[in-house]
Structures are given as C-alpha cells and as structure tokens.
C-alpha cells in the first residue's frame, strides 16, 4: 500500500511539474514566434519578396540548395520575384549590376559575411575566408606579387610540362576510342599544373589516371561541407570539433601534401630546376627578406591547390564542350589559329604572349567563363554599421547580401536577349561602351578587393592549352541517360559532367 501511495503522489508531483514545463515551453515558443513576427513586421525589408518559408527559417535555403542546382534556383527566384529576393530571414540575393559594384567591387565595398568562415578552420581565417577587408589587405599585400603580370611568365615552363602530358593522354584516347570523362581529365590536368606551379611537383594524377590519394575527393568534401555550413556558420565550430574527434578531416590530405613539399624544400632535399622557380622558392625567399611569414607561405600554397584546380578545370571543360557543340565557332577559332601558325605567329608550344594576341581565342575563353561560372553560389557580404540603401531597399547593419555571377550573366537586360547562348562574338564588339558593360558585369572571378588572385594564372593556362588541344583533336560528346550533353551539379563549385570520344582532328 504505502509504496504505491508514494508512487502515486510522486506521479502527481511529476505531472504538475510536467505541466509546468509544458506551459513554459509553449509560452517560450509563442514568445519567439511573436518576436519573429514583430521583427518581420518592423523590418525595413518586410516587403522583399521570396519563398514563404525563407522568411522564417534558414532551413529553407539549406534544403533548397541540396535539392536543386544553386545557380538554376537562384536565377529562377529572380525571374519569379524580381531583382531583390530573400533567401533566408537575414540573407538576400541581388540581381543588379550596380549592386554588384557597390557590395563587391567598390574601394569601400563590404566585408565578407560569416558564410565564408566555414572555408577555414573555426579558430583561424585565411586569405579567402577572412571577413574584414582591412585584415584581408594585410594578408594579400605580400602575396600579390606572386600572381602579378611579370611573375606570371615564370610559370610558363610548368604549364608546358603538363600540356605535353595532357596531349599524350588525349592521343591515347584518340587511339583506343574509349569514352572519356572530360571534366575529370581536365581536373587531373589542372591539379597537376597547380601542383607544379606551387610546390614544383605534380600530383602525378594525369599519369596515374586517377585520384588515388583521394586529394580531389578531399577538396570536394571540404567544399560541399562549407557551402552548407556557410548558411549556419555558428554550427561550424561545433561540427568541426566533432569531425576532428572522429578523425574526419578531408582537408588533411591537402595539408599533408603542402607540408611534405615544404619540409623537403627547406631541408634541401628538393631543388627547382635552373630554368624555373615555383611558389615555394619565391615565398621562402620572401620569408628570408622579411616580406612574408610562414603563415603566408602555407596559406598561399593551400589556397592555390584548393581554389585553383576545380575552377580552371570547370572553365576548360566548358570551353571544349561549347566548342564541340558549336561547330561554326570551333571553325572560326581554328581559322584564327591556323592563320597565326602559317604566319609564324604561333609556335609549338604556344606561348602566353602569342595567345594573348588572338582576339577570337580570348573571346572564347571569356565566353566560356561567362556562360558557366565556376562558383555557383552567391558571393555574400555583410552590411556595415551604417546600413546600406540599394536596389530600392534599406538594408540594416548585419544583413547578409550577395550577388551570384550566374544571375548577372544570365540577366538579359545586361548581357542581351541571347544571354543564355554561347556567343564569343559578343566580346568582339567594336562599340567600346558595349564592351565596357560586359567587362563591368563579368563576375566569374568575383570583383573588387576580393577578386580571384589567381585569375591571371588561370588565364595563362587556358590561353596556352586550348589552342594546343583544338589544333589536334575533335571531341564527340556522348549524351547521358537523360539525353543531356552538358549537365552539372553545384555545391560551391558548379562541376560539369561531359563524356566524350576523342578523335584526331579531321583534315578538311
Ligand atoms: C577559371 C579559374 C578560376 C575562377 C573562375 C576563380 C574564381 C574565383 C572567385 C569567384 C573568387 C572570389 C570569391 C569571392 O568573392 O568570394 C576567387 C578567389 C580566389 N581565387 Fe580564384 N578562380 C579561378 C582560378 C584560381 C587560381 C588558378 C588560383 C590560384 C592559383 C585561385 C586562387 C584564388 C584565391 C587565393 C582567392 C581568394 C582571393 C582573396 O580573397 O583575396 N583561383 N576565385
Ligand atoms: C536585370 O538587371 C537589371 C538592371 O540591373 C534589373 O533592373 C532587372 O530587374 C534584372 N532582372 C531580373 C530578372 O531581376
Ligand atoms: C592580371 O593582369 C592584368 C593585366 O593584364 C592586371 O591589370 C591585373 O592586375 C592582374 N591581376 C592580378 C590579380 O594580378
Ligand atoms: C602575325 O603577327 C604580326 C605582328 O604582330 C601581325 O601584324 C600579323 O597580322 C599576324 N598575322 C596573323 C595571321 O596572325
């Protein structure tokens, strides 16, 4: 008897406590809802249109970019809702060339948003992820000369080495007739080039015919992680801690690669050939002269490898696929290359200087970069303490706003009614003002102080390798099961899927 009575009374006790907790919980939820309704009603951004759920939760965007291709979704949202769209309660996408200039491009542009935090370890920032423009400038200043126009030419021999290996691989495929995953090959190529330029050693991926060490996979995982975690950056430090505990650190392989080559170079175990000096040589010299620190050396090497391979591979794949799908454009390019070769203006290997004098080639490169920007997510910044009046709205301090290169590049009032078409000729207009509009709104490399630092290295690679490929090979595209010749999927990067059969160029 006694025990059961005791039990009963305890149960009652629990019940009343339980009810108390439930009521408090409901009250708290109501309070939070009331607060968010109040914030929504009081916000100067309450009239910005967008998906219904995006008003209340960041989970809408997190879900949407997993389910859909980010650039396709981003473009569709602007078509539906207009030039300013809400992506999350405090995150907006803008479709306006002027806005891109103000938030990315101006001297007093905005700081990067916390979105980028997920691209580095939680306890550190780097060149790419550092939010503050001021701090960023101190990281970037000493590195800039490594990517400058004059230093650029010192990287040519590295590119030549990799170009000849790539052509050998294409020759094999032309002989065996096997189906080739073009983007994968271009990725192996771009990886090897950036390995050569940065640490004087290829990953050897092209010859190994694959990512045996899992380095590319490591980068893919890191980027997929960052593109998601960037939407909920305050989870990053916690998730990264857990991942470390479970020894999940996809970026580790890249770090190891850099450390290994750095140690070898410092200890004198490796030395660059006489005719070349790579990033490590240059950076270690700068360290000696007190112009850079070990932080800069490691940061530059790492960011080259992470930021410089997928991107270039995507652009090269797009260029070759678009040329193959547009025979007239391919013919026009070949005419230019053949005439230059006959005139003695184009040697083997092609030099960067020669390639820069070929206007149609340069237009093809720009157009490939425009029609398929490597970065598929909006480039986001955070509004400063003054707030920002732009595109018809006042954005309060702390609002995250961004511009997606895809959105601008497919905007027909900027790039014309044929914005969706691959048409290199648009870059060859005689009208200087028309060309200036294209240049000003070309966002594949970003804009302003945070512009891609490797832009010229990548243009050097593309300028040299495309003529050499196009001179010798044709690519027959094999559609996928859905009949698509060119498809892609996006995490941070929009990586194309293109299968081809390589043929020796038909002589006509
Ligand atoms: C077609 C090739 C490339 C494309 C389309 C591309 C695109 C971009 C974009 C859009 C940004 C700015 C992102 C932002 O505002 O958040 C960026 C930054 C950066 N890229 Fe590239 N990139 C390419 C090649 C390269 C190469 C070859 C390297 C290195 C050798 C490189 C290294 C970097 C670095 C270090 C940053 C950060 C710069 C900073 O914040 O100061 N990229 N890139
Ligand atoms: C395209 O850009 C123009 C000018 O920047 C802007 O007015 C227009 O709304 C944009 N288009 C869309 C669909 O947002
Ligand atoms: C790339 O080269 C151009 C000149 O062709 C130069 O104006 C620009 O500053 C260079 N970019 C970088 C990031 O060094
Ligand atoms: C070859 O180069 C010279 C000097 O730059 C130039 O005048 C000529 O038009 C070029 N010819 C061809 C066919 O590219």
Find the mean pLDDT for residues 282-287: 94
- CATH number of 152's domain: 1.10.630.10
Residue 345 beta carbon below 6 angstroms from any ligand 4 atom? yes
- Would you say residue 245 lies in a domain? yes
Interval 297-345: pLDDT, tens: 998 999 999 999 999 999 999 999 999 999 999 999 999 999 999 999 9
Q: What residues are in contact with ligand 1 under a 6 Å CB criterion?
A: 127-128, 140, 194, 303-304, 307-308, 311-312, 315, 374-375, 379, 444-446, 450, 452-454, 457-458
- Would you say residue 13 lies in a domain? no
- Would you say residue 2 lies in a domain? no
Residue 208 has pLDDT above 80, yes or no: no
- Would you say residue 323 lies in a domain? yes
Find the mean pLDDT for residues 347-372: 97
How far apart are the CA of 28 and the centre of ligand 2, in A? 42
Find the mean pLDDT for residues 176-188: 96
How far apart are the CA of 506 and the centre of ligand 2, in A? 44
The closest-lying atom of ligand 1 relative to the alpha carbon of residue 375 is 10
Interval 441-461: pLDDT, tens: 999 999 999 999 999 999 999
pLDDT, residue 200, reads 87
How far apart are the CA of 456 and the centre of ligand 3, in A? 6
Find the mean pLDDT for residues 344-357: 97
Total domains in the chain come to 1
Contact predicate 373/406, CB 8 Å = yes
How far apart are the CA of 304 and the centre of ligand 1, in A? 8
Domain range holding 359? 23-504
- Would you say residue 28 lies in a domain? yes
Pocket test for ligand 2, best of 80, 378, 413 (most atoms within 8 A of CB): 413
- Would you say residue 321 lies in a domain? yes
Question: Which residue, among 318, 325, 370, 306, has the nearest Cα to 488 in the 3D structure?
Answer: 318
Least distant ligand from the CA of 345: 4
Alpha carbons 51 and 57: distance in angstroms, whole number: 11
Binding site listing for heme = 452
Find the mean pLDDT for residues 173-185: 96
Pocket test for ligand 4, best of 343, 353, 359, 360 (most atoms within 8 A of CB): 343
Question: Which residue, among 281, 224, 216, 297, has the nearest Cα to 253 in the 3D structure?
Answer: 216
Residue 438 beta carbon below 6 angstroms from any ligand 3 atom? no
- Longest Cα–Cα distance of the chain, Å, equals 110
Alpha helix stretches (DSSP H) within 127-251: 133-144, 149-152, 156-176, 182-199, 205-208, 215-229, 236-245
pLDDT, residue 256, reads 85
The closest-lying atom of ligand 3 relative to the alpha carbon of residue 147 is 14
More confident: 367 or 218? 367
Find the mean pLDDT for residues 492-505: 97
Alpha carbons 70 and 491: distance in angstroms, whole number: 8
Residue 340 beta carbon below 6 angstroms from any ligand 4 atom? yes
Residue 77 beta carbon below 6 angstroms from any ligand 2 atom? no
Cα–Cα distance list, 299 to 1, 145, 257, 326, 353 (Å): 74, 15, 13, 40, 29
Question: Which residue, among 105, 62, 110, has the nearest Cα to 386 in the 3D structure?
Answer: 110
- Would you say residue 15 lies in a domain? no
- Would you say residue 262 lies in a domain? yes
Residue 149 beta carbon below 6 angstroms from any ligand 3 atom? yes
How far apart are the CA of 406 and the centre of ligand 4, in A? 36
Residue 114 has pLDDT above 50, yes or no: yes
Residue 6 has pLDDT above 50, yes or no: no
Within 8 A by CB and 6+ apart from 160, the residues are 349, 464
Residue 83 beta carbon below 6 angstroms from any ligand 2 atom? yes
pLDDT, residue 1, reads 40
The closest-lying atom of ligand 2 relative to the alpha carbon of residue 79 is 13
Residue 371 has pLDDT above 70, yes or no: yes
Interval 25-75: pLDDT, tens: 999 998 988 887 887 778 899 999 999 999 999 999 999 999 999 999 999
């Amino acid at each position: 008897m006694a025990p059961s009575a005791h039990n009963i009374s305890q149960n009652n006790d629990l019940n009343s406590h339980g009810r108390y907790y439930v009521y408090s919980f409901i009250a708290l939820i109501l309070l939070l809802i009331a607060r968010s309704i109040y914030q929504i009603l009081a916000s100067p951004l309450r009239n910005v249109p967008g998906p219904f759920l995006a008003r209340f939760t960041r989970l809408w965007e997190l879900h949407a970019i997993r389910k859909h291709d980010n650039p396709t979704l981003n473009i569709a949202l602007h078509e539906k809702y207009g030039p300013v769209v809400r992506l999350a309660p405090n995150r907006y996408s803008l479709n306006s060339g002027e806005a891109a200039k103000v938030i990315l491009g101006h001297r007093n542009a905005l700081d990067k948003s916390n979105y980028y935090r997920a691209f580095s370890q939680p306890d550190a920032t780097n060149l790419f992820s550092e939010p503050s423009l001021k701090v960023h400038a101190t990281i970037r200043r000493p590195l800039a000369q490594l990517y400058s126009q004059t230093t650029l030419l010192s990287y040519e021999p590295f590119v030549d080495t990799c170009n000849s290996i790539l052509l050998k691989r294409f020759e094999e495929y032309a002989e065996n007739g096997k189906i080739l995953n073009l983007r994968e090959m271009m990725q192996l190529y771009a990886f090897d080039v950036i390995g050569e330029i940065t640490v004087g050693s290829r990953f050897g991926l092209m010859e190994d015919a694959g990512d045996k060490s899992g380095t590319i996979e490591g980068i893919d995982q890191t980027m997929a992680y960052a593109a998601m975690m960037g939407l909920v950056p305050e989870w990053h430090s916690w998730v990264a801690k857990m991942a470390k505990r479970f020894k999940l650190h996809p970026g580790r392989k890249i770090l190891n690669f850099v450390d290994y080559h750095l140690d070898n170079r410092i200890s004198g175990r490796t030395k660059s050939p006489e005719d070349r000096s790579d990033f490590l040589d240059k950076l270690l010299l700068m360290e000696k002269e007190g112009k850079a620190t070990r932080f800069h050396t490691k940061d530059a090497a790492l960011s080259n490898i992470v930021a410089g391979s997928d991107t270039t591979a995507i652009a090269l794949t797009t260029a070759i696929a678009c040329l193959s799908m547009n025979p007239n454009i391919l013919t026009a390019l070949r005419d230019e290359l053949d005439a230059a070769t006959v005139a003695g203006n184009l040697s083997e290997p092609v030099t960067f200087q020669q390639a820069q004098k070929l206007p149609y080639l340069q237009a093809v490169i720009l157009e490939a970069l425009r029609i398929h920007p490597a970065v598929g997510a909006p480039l986001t910044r955070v509004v400063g303490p003054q707030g920002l009046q732009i595109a018809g709205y006042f954005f309060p301090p702390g609002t995250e706003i961004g511009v997606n290169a895809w959105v601008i590049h497919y905007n027909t009032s900027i790039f014309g009614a044929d914005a969706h078409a691959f048409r290199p000729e648009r870059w060859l207009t005689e009208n200087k003002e028309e060309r200036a509009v294209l240049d000003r709104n070309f966002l594949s490399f970003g804009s302003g102080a945070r512009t891609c630092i490797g832009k010229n290295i990548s243009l050097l690679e593309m300028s040299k390798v495309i003529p050499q490929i196009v001179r010798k090979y044709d690519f027959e595209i094999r559609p996928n099961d859905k009949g698509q010749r060119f498809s892609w999927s996006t995490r941070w990067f929009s990586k194309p899927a293109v299968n081809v059969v390589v043929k020796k160029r038909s002589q006509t």
